[in-house]
């Protein structure tokens, strides 16, 4: 992704696993970074962030020394009484049931091939029961081309589906 470039340009803090934070600081020169691990959370000045399980590979291309690997994860981000669940790259996992009733906005991958597809993402919506869901991680290259409107139809009345274009934002 673009996270390291954005952090370098803006001074934003990188929050990730210990391994990725070490990579960000030692290889990418990122100054502001905070390590978390699955199940752990931290109260930042802006709000509370907790790392959740995900099921996927976990590596970042490094420098001449090779790749940096880590466990994949998602994040629960709670700010001003609202909670966003960013699932990250993941398959559908039963642990998502534990989030039921805690999530206002769920960002779920629908690309298939490398992550869950629209059918499993709709099952995740049924498990999590968010008020709003944003499909993500699709249509950036051929093998993950998906119809987000088809996903919205699968979700039906379970949640509001907000389909964003790259660079677009939405206020909740």
- Assign 34 to helix, strand or coil: strand
Decide if 66 is inside a domain.
Answer: no
Give the structural domain span for 127: 81-165
Question: For strand 47-53 and strand 73-79, is the pairing parallel, antiparallel, or unpaired?
Answer: antiparallel
- Please determine, for residue 70, whether its predicted confidence score (pLDDT) is greater than 90: no
CATH number of domain containing 149: 3.60.15.10
SS3 132: strand
By percentage, how much of the chain surpasses pLDDT 90?
87
For residue 52, tell me if it sits in a domain. Answer: no
The answer to the question of residue 135 being in a domain is: yes
What confidence score (pLDDT) does residue 106 get?
A: 99
- Predicted TM-score (pTM) of this structure: 0.93
Q: Is residue 62 part of a domain?
A: no
Question: Do the domain assignments include residue 63?
Answer: no
Pairwise CA distance, residues 114 & 98, whole Å:
23
**Is residue 57 a part of any domain in this protein?**
no
Q: How far apart are CA 166 and CA 138, in angstroms?
A: 11
Helix (H, G, I), strand (E, B) or coil at 75: strand
Residue 171 lies inside a defined structural domain of this protein: no
Residues 125-164 have pLDDT tens digits of 999 999 999 999 999 999 999 999 999 999 999 999 999 9
| Number of domains composing the chain | 1
* Three-state DSSP class for residue 68: strand
> What is the band of 83 on the pLDDT scale with cuts at 50, 70, 90?
very high
The answer, yes or no, to whether residue 64 has pLDDT greater than 70, is no
């Amino acid at each position: 992704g673009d996270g390291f470039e954005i952090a370098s340009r803006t001074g934003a803090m990188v929050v990730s696993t210990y391994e990725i934070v070490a990579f960000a600081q030692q290889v990418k020169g990122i100054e502001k970074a905070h390590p978390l691990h699955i199940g752990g959370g931290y109260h930042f000045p802006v709000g509370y962030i907790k790392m959740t399980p995900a099921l996927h590979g976990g590596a970042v291309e490094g420098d001449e020394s090779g790749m940096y690997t880590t466990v994949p994860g998602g994040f629960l981000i709670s700010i001003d009484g609202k909670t966003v669940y960013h699932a990250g790259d993941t398959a559908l996992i039963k642990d998502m049931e534990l989030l039921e009733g805690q999530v206002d906005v769920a960002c779920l991958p629908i690309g298939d091939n490398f992550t869950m597809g629209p059918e499993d993402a709709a099952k995740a919506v049924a498990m999590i029961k968010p008020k709003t869901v944003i499909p993500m991680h699709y249509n950036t290259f051929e093998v993950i081309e998906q119809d987000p409107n088809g996903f919205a139809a699968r979700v039906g009345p379970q949640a509001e589906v907000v389909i964003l274009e790259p660079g677009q934002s939405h206020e909740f």
